[in-house]
Amino acid sequence: MKKSTRILARFYVGIMLLLMYAPILVLMIFSFTEAKVIGSWTGFSWDLYPDLFKNKEIVTAVINTVVVALSSAAVSTILGTAGAIGIHYSGKRMKSALEGVSQIPIMNAEIVTALSLTILFVYFGVQFNFITLLIGHVVLTLPFVVLSINPKLQQMDPNVYEAALDLGSKPSQALRKIVLPEIMPGIFSGFLLSVTLSLDDYIITAFTRDTSFTTLSTYVYGVTSKKGTLPPTLRALTTIIFVFALLLLVLVNIRKGRSKGEGGKR
């Protein structure tokens, strides 16, 4: 391609990236000043960071968010791994039925999923508590675990499992020692995907939680709909989350880059 088009291409992609990061960068810059709203700089200060950790409401919300994300991802990963293996070895009819059901929460609008779960709990007179919230998040993330593991199962050489059986290992041993290591990358990315989906969720959380239980999403939604602009301490929180996400993404991709060297598609 011509040099002029190349410069134009770089300029265009650069501008788009800048726009994508504008809201986050602005928050990050203004996390170092105590101004009430973004746009007015009242001198450099670190104070929002200690303020953030002193704010019990925010700290609780963040801890709750992480607890929900990790526990729902753990449940989804276990259910989903067993499910994916089971589906893989099921007969044709069962397989397509289960794969079809897995597609429902993925294709469905999140608000419809949320409403349907709420109606289920109300219909059977279940009190909204941590368990209902957990179920909501497992519904949200479980199909994605199955989807991440499925390609690994299909790439697997079925003869190795049979060979293990021929050589005298029990089926459970063969599953543990042959199948699980083969699909481990899929399990790992399914778990990570579950965590990210759960951390980001607002709608299902808002519908299935006990209203006294706040997560980061419900907390931010609550304060922005009452006061309007984001409270200053949340600028510090955004900066911390961003740095954390950046580190995690770099780590995951270094790991992925390494395993790619050993051949095979993701």
Partner 1 sequence: MSKIKFTRKWLSLPYAVFMILFVVIPLVLILGYAFTDAEGNFTFRNLASLFGSASNVNTILVSFIIGAANTVICLLIGYPVAYFLAHREIKMPTAIVLLFVMPMWINFVLRTAATRDLLYWIGLNGGEHPYLCTMIGMVYNYLPFVILPLYTTMTKLDYSQIEASSDLGARPLQTFVQVILPMTAPGIVSAATMVFMPTMSSYVISDVMGERKLSLIGNSIQLYFDQGLWHMGSIVAVVMLLLIAVGMFATKNVQKEDDVRGTML
**Which position among 52, 77, 83, 152 is part of the footprint of partner 1 (CB under 8 A)?**
83
Residues 149, 120, 133: CA angle, nearest 5 degrees: 55
> Minimal distance in Å, beta carbon 259 to partner 1?
12
Write the CA distances from 84 to 54, 73, 145, 175, 176, integer angstroms: 44, 15, 8, 13, 14
Stretch that binds partner 1, among 50-58, 66-74, 104-112, 152-160 (CB under 8 A): 104-112
Q: Measured from the CB atom, is 56 or 265 closer to partner 1?
A: 265
For residues 171 and 164, give the distance between their C-alpha atoms in angstroms, rounded to a whole number: 9
**Which position among 4, 36, 109, 127 is part of the footprint of partner 1 (CB under 8 A)?**
109
What is the maximal distance between C-alpha atoms in the chain? 74
Structural tokens at position 172: 């459970």
**Which position among 119, 126, 131, 163 is part of the footprint of partner 1 (CB under 8 A)?**
119
Structural tokens at position 52: 């953030």
Q: Which residues contact 221 (CB under 8 A, 6 or more apart)?
A: 202, 206
Stretch that binds partner 1, among 46-54, 66-74, 152-160, 198-206 (CB under 8 A): 198-206
Element (H, E) at 89: none
**Which position among 50, 245, 251, 259 is part of the footprint of partner 1 (CB under 8 A)?**
245
Q: Is residue 142 part of the contact set for partner 1 (CB under 8 A)?
A: yes
Q: Is residue 55 part of the contact set for partner 1 (CB under 8 A)?
A: no
Question: Would you say 208 and 118 are in contact if contact means Cβ atoms under 8 Å apart?
Answer: yes
Residues 207, 211, 213: CA angle, nearest 5 degrees: 105
x-or-dash string of contact with partner 1, 152-191, rule CB under 8 A: -------------x-----xx--x-------------x--
**Which position among 59, 67, 160, 252 is part of the footprint of partner 1 (CB under 8 A)?**
252
Q: Is residue 46 part of the contact set for partner 1 (CB under 8 A)?
A: no
